[in-house]
Amino acid sequence: MKRLLYVLFAIIAIVVVSLILWPTKTNAVMGDKTLVAYFSATGNTRGVAEKLSNAIGADLFEIVPEQLYSADDLNWQNDASRSSVEMKDAASRPVVASKIEDMSQYKIVFVGFPIWWGREPSIIDTFMESYDFAGKTVIPFATSGSSDIGNTYENLKKLAPNANVLPGKRFASDVSVEDLKSWADTEIAK
């Protein structure tokens, strides 16, 4: 009889512990974390991305080109510079050297970049095509000389058709942490 009681107690204990752990396991499998992924050639977007990830407690990932952009590469006044050539070619996909090991852990992905020729740099197109964004919310953000982020999100939507891509926002590089946080909180709540 005593033995039977021990077995019964053990079964109840296992069931109770499983019930307590179950929601945690489910969240881990589905992924509920937030990521700030960014490309920055001259540091402006990096600064905004760092402030944003600190403000909202998100992981930070830099989209690093296999071949870094030199000052000559970035010369938009030269039609033959690397950036000019890439941006004129819609099929251009510069190689990304860095890799996110487990994208499935993220539910929300902020994607940051400088505006080049009115849109996202081609390396962002490479990034968007490198992962499965199904069921994730993608929130673009950008820095620029003066251009707005425009309808860049429509490009990202085409590259990640299963994602919920929000319109996003362009920021000055000296945007405050408070402004970034209040914007991000509003976007995340959408």
Q: Is 44 in the site for ligand FMN (CB under 6 A)?
A: yes
Residue (of 40, 32, 41) closest to 50 by Cα position: 40
Contacts of 79 (CB under 8 A, 6+ apart): none
| Distances from the Cα of 154 to the Cα of 4, 24, 36, 93, 171, angstroms | 64, 35, 19, 18, 19
**Residue 64 amino acid letter:** V
- Calculate helix-pair angle for 44-56, 177-189, nearest 10 degrees: 60
Phi and psi at 125, nearest 5°, equal: -65, -40
- Candidate list 35, 144, 157, 160; residue touching ligand FMN; CB under 6 A: 144
Q: Is 147 in the site for ligand FMN (CB under 6 A)?
A: yes
- Candidate list 9, 15, 43, 66; residue touching ligand FMN; CB under 6 A: 43
- Least distance from ligand FMN to the Cβ atom of residue 60, Å: 14
Q: Is 151 in the site for ligand FMN (CB under 6 A)?
A: no
41/156 with CB nearer ligand FMN: 41
Please give the helix or strand (H or E) that residue 52 lies within, else none.
Answer: helix 44-56
| Distances from the Cα of 39 to the Cα of 17, 86, 190, angstroms | 44, 15, 25
Q: Is 135 in the site for ligand FMN (CB under 6 A)?
A: no
107/169 with CB nearer ligand FMN: 169
Q: Per CB under 6 A, which region of 91-99, 101-109, 138-146, 174-182 contacts ligand FMN?
A: 138-146
- Spatial separation of the C-alpha atoms in residues 114 and 38, rounded to whole Å: 9
- Candidate list 91, 145, 161, 186; residue touching ligand FMN; CB under 6 A: 145
Among left, alpha and beta (phi > 0; psi -120 to 50; other), residue 168 is left
**Per-residue contact string for residues 11-40; x = within reach of ligand FMN by CB under 6 A:** -----------------------------x
32/148 with CB nearer ligand FMN: 148
- Least distance from ligand FMN to the Cβ atom of residue 159, Å: 19
Residues that bind ligand FMN (CB under 6 A): 40-46, 74, 76, 83, 114-118, 143-147, 173
